[in-house]
Amino acid sequence: MGQLLKKDKRPPVKIQLKKNDQVKVIAGKDKGKTGRILNVDSASGRVMVEQINIVKKHTRKNPAKQIAGGVAESEASIAVSNVMIVCSKCGAVRIKHTVVTTDAGVTKRQRVCHKCGGALDKK
Ligand SMILES: [Zn+2]
């Protein structure tokens, strides 16, 4: 009796990853590779990672628009569940959230490594 959600009616996926995060691919054809996140799409639950999931794009040449044509290679997005954030000490880890209080008394949420507790957010 479960309710089935249509693919395009799915709620946005909560993505804990951010642009410029270093991630490791844990599934798919680029399994084991690491790269930097270029783009995060929470609507589709996918991320674009540098040099991961390279696809060939065939383009027709168009001199008016300075397009040379031929086969260009570029990244395609991959599902966020197929990547894990990389901790500089532990490797691919899960993300834990903690609340930190700064000297000014401001509390903010911080992403830390699930294993060593090291901060994953660069300042
Ligand atoms: Zn760690």
For the chain, how are helix, strand and coil distributed in percent, rounded to 5?
5, 45, 50
Centre of ligand 1 from the C-alpha of residue 48, in Å: 23
Which residues, in sequence order, are bridge partners of residue 107? 101
Centre of ligand 1 from the C-alpha of residue 91, in Å: 7
Centre of ligand 1 from the C-alpha of residue 119, in Å: 8
Of 60-64, 72-76, 89-93, the least confident = 60-64
Of 17-26, 47-56, 103-112, the least confident = 103-112
- Asked whether residue 1 carries a pLDDT value surpassing 70, the answer given is no
104 vs 122, higher pLDDT: 104
Centre of ligand 1 from the C-alpha of residue 49, in Å: 21
Centre of ligand 1 from the C-alpha of residue 23, in Å: 13
pLDDT at residue number 6 = 63
Quick one: average pLDDT of 46-72? 90
The tally of CA atoms less than 13 A away on the side-chain side of residue 35 is: 22
Q: So what's the architecture of 7-90 in CATH? A: Roll (2.30)
Centre of ligand 1 from the C-alpha of residue 26, in Å: 17
Q: Rounded to 5 degrees, what are φ and ψ at 8? A: -85, 0
pLDDT (tens digit per residue) in 66-85: 888 889 899 999 999 999 99
Centre of ligand 1 from the C-alpha of residue 122, in Å: 14
Tokens of 17: 């990853």
pLDDT at residue number 59 = 87
Centre of ligand 1 from the C-alpha of residue 94, in Å: 9
Give percent of the chain with pLDDT exceeding 90.
Answer: 63
